[in-house]
Amino acid sequence: MEDTLSGSQGNLVAFYDATLERLTKPYQTQRVDMRYGNTHVISAGAESAAPILVLHGSASNAAGCWPLITYRREKCFGLEMGLMPSLSTPFFSV
């Protein structure tokens, strides 16, 4: 991930790195440009597998979905909503 971040964003990146180490299959992270900024996506699974979308619960992010992403046979796409602490662009500031 990005190593130039500090403070709470740096802590979030450290959490991500530690959590994604638990995945037992290859994965990719990417940012997708959307209308309100970019959305961080974690994808894992064979390209030929059926795709499924994994959405995290409230006060969470896609890294918290690692058990589901690890054990599903499908190609999993974990999207992050910009309303929660995540690596996506926040929809608004509080």
pLDDT digits (tens, 9 = 90+) for 20-73: 888 888 888 888 887 877 888 889 999 999 999 988 777 677 777 888 888 889
Measured between its terminal Cα atoms, the distance across the chain in Å is: 25
| Residue in 82, 93, 92, 89 with CA at minimum distance from that of residue 38 | 89
Is residue 63 classed as helix, strand or coil in its secondary structure?
Answer: helix
Which amino acid type is present at position 10? G
The structure tokens listed for 71 are: 């054990």
> Degrees (nearest 5) of the Cα angle 47, 53, 58?
145
- With 0.85 as the threshold, say if the pTM is over it: no
Res 88 pLDDT > 80: no
Measured distance CA(61)–CA(86) in Å, rounded: 6
